[in-house]
Amino acid sequence: MVLFKKVADHAGLGTSSRKRSIPAGLWTKCPECEAVIFSKTLKENLSVCTKCDYHFVIGAWDHIDHLADRGTFRELFKNLITTDPLKFKGVKTYLEKYKQDAKRTGLKEACVVGECLLEGRKVALGATDSRFIMGSMGSVVGEKITRLTEDATKKRMPLIIISGSGGGARMYEGALSLMQMAKTSAALQRLHKARLPYISILTDPTMGGVMASFAALGDVILAEPKALIGFAGPRVIEQTIRQKLPKDFQTSEFLVEHGMVDRVVSRPKMKSVIHLFLNYFSSE
């Protein structure tokens, strides 16, 4: 007589072929606190960890969508296209790298610029994107930043630029990329003479020629928490001066303490803080 009968596994348990898998991308692990966060919740919090406030790197359009009033952003100079003046060759040619990053990010270059409303106030807004050739500044990036600044000067609008560049000046273009540092700085000087405000926002990372030019020239310089900000990287500096650097060297918090950044602002609060400064400038 059979005392026990095997029950069919209708629940799908116990057989590998019927196990329910978790869809890819449903959860995201924070690299700082290692908390596992529901990806939808993370996106709703502007890609800031809900546990430890770690700021994930986001793209230019994500920054623009956060700051610009819904449906008001109008992109400018979007048809400027990068060429290969030096016919650069390496493991990959310049154009191969350019096409690869363009396909991966959906961008035509490492920055997006335009006009929009921010809390009802018309502003010129630009953002660089570290996912596109490390957000480095070549001729097109420099030209777009310069034209945006000139547009703000002509139309008497406040200028806001969000910098996210781990590449600085773009080595693929040699001296032509270095020239963009002077060109963008000169345009900002004309904006300053016109007594128009420029708010510079530094995100992780903002390095090299970008930090040595337009990113550091804001009337107000804001930074996201724990962003890496500087010219050369910490390891390069340590190897050069043969000294151990402070643990938080070249972070937003370190630069606030030493007077190079005015304020560290969490991404969800950035729009309201910018609005506050714009109101202050308009009341002068």
CATH for 57-282 (3.90.226.10, 3.30.1490.20, 3.40.640.10, 3.90.1170.40): 3.90.226.10
Contact 213, 181 (CB under 8 A): yes
Q: Judge contact between 196 and 236, C-beta under 8 A.
A: no
Write the single-letter amino acid at 48.
V
DSSP 227-253: -BB-SS-HHHHHHHHTSPPPTTTTBHH
Where would I find the H helices in 117-174?
139-155
State the residue for tokens 């900002």: 188
pLDDT per residue as tens digits for the range 196-254: 999 999 999 999 999 999 999 999 999 999 999 999 878 888 888 888 888 889 999 99
Going by C-alpha positions, the residue among 279, 252, 243, 283 that lies closest to residue 123 is 279
CATH 3.90.226.10 in the chain, residue ranges: 57-282
Place of tokens 């939808």: 40
Cα separation, 168 vs 135, in Å, equals: 7
Confidence at 56, pLDDT banded by 50, 70, 90 = very high
- Beta carbons of 147 and 107 less than 8 angstroms apart: no
State which H helix or E strand residue 202 sits in: strand 198-206
The answer to whether 111 touches 162, Cβ cutoff 8 Å, is no
For residue 28, give every residue at least 6 positions away whose Cβ sits within 8 Å of its Cβ, in sequence order, or none. Answer: 36, 37, 38, 39, 42
pLDDT of 149 reads 98
Of 130, 140, 129, 148, the residue nearest 75 (C-alpha): 148
Asked if 6 contacts 12 with a C-beta cutoff of 8 angstroms, the reply is no
Residue 175 confidence (pLDDT) above 90: yes
The per-residue pLDDT for 247 is 83
The predicted structure's pLDDT at residue 11? 45
Dist CA 1 CA 212 (whole Å):
87
Angle at 212 between CA 207 and CA 214, to 5 degrees: 100
pLDDT digit string, tens, across residues 217-233: 999 999 999 999 999 87
Nearest CA-CA partner of 120 in 274, 231, 245: 274
